[in-house]
Amino acid sequence: MIQILIVDDEKAICDLIHINLTAAGYACQSVQDGIQAIDLIEKERFDLILLDIMLPGADGYDVMEYIRPLKIPVIFITAKHEVKDRVKGLRLGAEDYLVKPFDVVELVARVEVVLRRYNKTQTVLKVGDVEVDTEARTVTRGGKPVVLTGKEYGLLLLFIRNRNVALFKENLYEKVWGDEYIPDSRTLELHVQRLRKKMGWENHLVTVYKVGYRLEI
């Protein structure tokens, strides 16, 4: 399983990221201090580190200097939004830079992009009795194959990777159809209905009023 370290001095932020990345199928640990982060990195193996800049003990830039020789990908997560701060982080070797406050869906997507870049993506995703092999592009439910259209498969991956997160209709349509969402169209609704039936998620893939849909697991 992919191991991710979250380093942020705000426990609420750590908890938010931890909950959502765990729901997306990642194993996470978190610390709120730069020195604690370095100590933990010495003892354990991590595939990705989410690193704040303003930290007690040692700031994010100092921690990054320690991480760089280890070749562990890093995404900076910080309230510092000036260009010079982003440039400094990227020049130190960070793979990406996300400014607070951020959208959880965007965070998960950026994590996936960086992990793909390092060939560390999870090829098998599991939710209950549903299993998706993203490499073979196969889906099973209770051990039996499920046939999905391309759009249904795209929606399935988004829902699984963002479990318990409300996803906006506009975002779903843009990511799967690659186009701007048309409010009067029932295309997305019909695809979600078919996906519910095929996956047995009538009570799990719920409609969020005036927002979109959420896979409740």
Q: pTM of the prediction?
A: 0.64
Q: Give the pLDDT score at 136.
A: 85
- Please state the three-class secondary structure of the chain as a single string: CCEEEEECCCHHHHHHHHHHHHHCCCEEEEECCHHHHHHHHHHCCCCEEEECCCCCCCCHHHHHHHHHHHCCCEEEEECCCCHHHHHHHHHCCCCEEEECCCCHHHHHHHHHHHHHHCCCCCCEEEECCEEEECCCCEEEECCEECCCCHHHHHHHHHHHHCCCCCEEHHHHHHHHHCCCCCCCCCHHHHHHHHHHHHHCCCCCEEEECCCEEEECC
127 has which bridge partners? 130
Dist CA 33 CA 52 (whole Å): 10
pLDDT value for 122: 67
pLDDT value of position 89: 75
Q: Along the 217 residues of the chain, how does pLDDT read in single tens digits?
A: 789 999 999 999 999 999 888 877 788 999 999 999 999 999 999 999 999 998 999 999 999 999 989 989 999 988 877 777 777 877 888 899 888 888 888 888 899 899 988 877 667 788 889 999 887 889 999 999 999 999 999 999 999 988 888 899 998 999 899 888 888 889 999 999 999 999 999 999 999 998 999 999 8
Handedness of CA 66, 70, 76, 78 (dihedral sign): negative
Report the C-alpha gap between 37 and 63 in whole angstroms. 8
In the chain, CATH 3.40.50.2300 sits at 3-117
List of residues 6+ apart from 208 with CB closer than 8 A: 166, 214
CA distance 161 to 174: 16
CATH domain 3-117 topology: Rossmann fold (3.40.50)
Give the pLDDT score at 102: 85
Assign a CATH topology to domain 124-215.
Arc Repressor Mutant, subunit A (1.10.10)
CATH 1.10.10.10 residue ranges of the chain are: 124-215
